[in-house]
Structure 1
Amino acid sequence: MASPSFSMLQATLFGGVALLLSSCELLEFSPNDVRVSDTQQELTRKNLARLAAQPKPTGGDTLRFVFTTDSQRYYDELDPLVSSINQQRGVAFVLLGGDISDFGLSREMTWVQEKLDGLQAPYLTVVGNHDLVGNGRAAYQKLFGPLNYAFTYGDTRFILADTNGREYAFNGQVPNVPWLQQQLADTVGIRRQITVCHVPPFNEDFDPALTGPFARTLVQAPRLVFNLSGHIDKFGESEPYDDGVTYISGYSVQQRHYLLLTLWGQKHYKLDVIAY
């Protein structure tokens, strides 16, 4: 058989290159790519819409929700977590306290999102410090939405704030204390309030210049029940500043425990630790 000519080899090579370029949409060139499908975008807005559409608490003002945190790379623990939460009665929604990812990759976030889609209740997230690594901020905003936001369910207001000061080189702007003050001051029709963040103010990754202003803001906040946080991978319930404000730190997903919180009245709550 005759050897292929040089022109034939050129045609084959150029044809292969053209095919490769025409198929570029099938390739992921960078782990920092933040492109996701339409169904994986604006998850905060979509879950808030689900929450608004479901019936409000009946039989009084009792509200029950779940708090878990720091899913990061603990994918094997997510299936039993979802299964356990789905067995709890009367759960209105689930809060995930940040560090959804480990390296700020959209692929990590979508892996967690695909697991959490198995929840019967809506879920809301707050951004963690690991979610801001690399292109993490853009990925988080693309998949979930705002870094700071608030919502009201029934007569309970939840304020979720970015407190990852170290990721902003302690620039004195994160957390956004004026925004937090404004949100907490809006109490029309509100019986009680809860703040949610990833890094608590007593941790070294919180901007030290803002620890005092943040803590004082919570002291002055009307109808505040407690502050929820993640990050430290250790459950705790305390008043670290002896100022009457309760700070609750949740279990990480890896620890295979989560918090089931039940609220009633203005500041009454019951905290159950659930193992799975």
Structure 2
Amino acid sequence: MKKNKTFLLSLFSLLFMYGCDLIDYHPYDVDISGETGINAKNMAKIESNCKGKTTIKFAVMGDSQRWYDETEQFVKHINRRNDIDFVIHGGDVSDFGITKEFLWQRDILNGLKFPYVVIIGNHDVLGTGEEVYTKVFGEDNFSFIAGNVKFVCLNTNAIEYDYSHPVPDFDFIENALADRKDEYSKTVFSMHVRPLIHEFNNNVAKVFHRYVKEAPGIQFCTAAHEHHLTAEAIFEDGIMYYGSDSMNHRSYLVFTINPERYEYEVVYF
């Protein structure tokens, strides 16, 4: 009996010492493997690639959560184009805020031949998702300039914060619009949840839109979240809010901004 106990203790010790790779860690850990800080690196590429351009063309998609095959097909489809400057993912790369969801989606999106940025979605805030998003992609509010257009990308997932966090963050918006003001003459706002949708803090929806319409050369706003295509001047003042479809519906939007106007198209794959 003593010999058997000694054998079992030795076996368990070996499994503990050498069997770590067999352990599946908690799905909400924040142990990140692979590339991090993606948005900052890609924003630098976007600004460099678009410097001096008077016409830019970019794609908007979103809600790739759980639709991995379709997202891979999107990457393959858009990579056949040669006219895209960058891609904006409108948020919800994850469904449950699980670490591996972020990493799987990141690895798929890294197959894009164009630089891309990812906006935080309401599902991306679940569990430890916000911490994972911050490590993998970056800050939840960010801005960049492409050609002569300032892109203001925002966390608008107010319902996930129970009003304990400034969502949307008006201080950030003010600072983003003031920063490098002499380098841009047009503005686009991008977010996951648009105003007048339940998950937006609609107590301040009109205030938010006032910031939008007072931005230099406002063009339009983009959003995701609703899982279907939308195009509406929701405040009836001519400023359009365009919503991208979820990836399972196999479509994305392409916008072109030139010196005279902007155009958009829906692309199916």
Aligned to 1:63: 56
- How far apart in 2 are the matches of 1:52 and 1:219? 24
Equivalent residue in structure 1 for 2:27, among 3, 8, 31: 31
Query: What is the CA deviation profile of residues 57-107 of structure 1, one whole-angstrom value per residue up to 9, with x for unaligned ones?
Result: 65xx11011100100000110121011111222211111000010001110
CA distance in 2, matches of 1:49, 1:103: 30
Shift of 1:115: 1.2
Q: Which residues of 2 match residues 10-159 of structure 1 at below 5 A?
A: 10-23=5-18, 25-26=20-21, 27-37=23-33, 39-54=34-49, 56=51, 61-159=54-152
Identity rate, percent: 31
Q: Following TM superposition, by how much is the alpha carbon of 1:25 offset from its aligned partner in structure 2, in angstroms?
A: 4.6
3-state SS, counterpart of residue 9 of structure 1:
helix
User: Displacement, 1:172?
Assistant: 6.7
Mapped partners of 1:51, 1:69: distance in 2: 19
Count residues with an aligned counterpart: 267
Largest Rg, 1 or 2: 1
TM-score by length of 1: 0.90
Following superposition, the deviation at residue 195 of structure 1 comes to 0.9
Q: Gaps (5+ residues) in structure 2?
A: none
| Cα displacement string for residues 178-218 of structure 1 (whole angstroms, at most 9, x for unaligned residues) | 21122123322102111110000110111122212111111
SS in 2 for 1:217: helix
Q: What's the offset of the Cα at 1:11?
A: 2.5
CA contact 1:57–1:63 (8 Å) conserved in 2: no
Per the TM alignment, residue 52 of structure 1 is displaced from its structure 2 partner at its CA by: 4.2
Question: Out of 213, 218, 221, which is 1:219 matched to?
Answer: 213
Q: Is the 8 A contact 2:30 2:132 kept in 1?
A: yes
Kindly tell me: are residues 244 and 118 of structure 1, through their superposed partners in 2, closer, same or farther at Cα, counting changes over 3 Å? same
- SS at 1:272 equivalent: strand
Q: Quickly say closer, same or farther: Cα 1:242–1:193, change in 2 above 3 A.
A: same
What is aligned with 1:247? 241
Q: Aligned runs of 1:194-209 on 2, under 5 Å?
A: 194-209=188-203
Q: Partner residue of 1:210?
A: 204
Q: Distance in 2 between matches of 1:220 and 1:45?
A: 26
Shift of 1:24: 6.5
Does structure 2 retain, via aligned residues, the 8 Å contact 1:219–1:243? no
C-alpha deviations, 1:209-245, integer Å up to 9, x for none? 2212111111221211111100011212221112332
Q: Secondary structure at the match of 1:54?
A: helix
Structure 1 distance, partners of 2:6, 2:149, is 68
**Structure 1 pair 204–188 and aligned structure 2 pair: CA distance change class (3 A):** same
2:263 aligned partner, one-letter code: K
SS in 1 for 2:105: helix
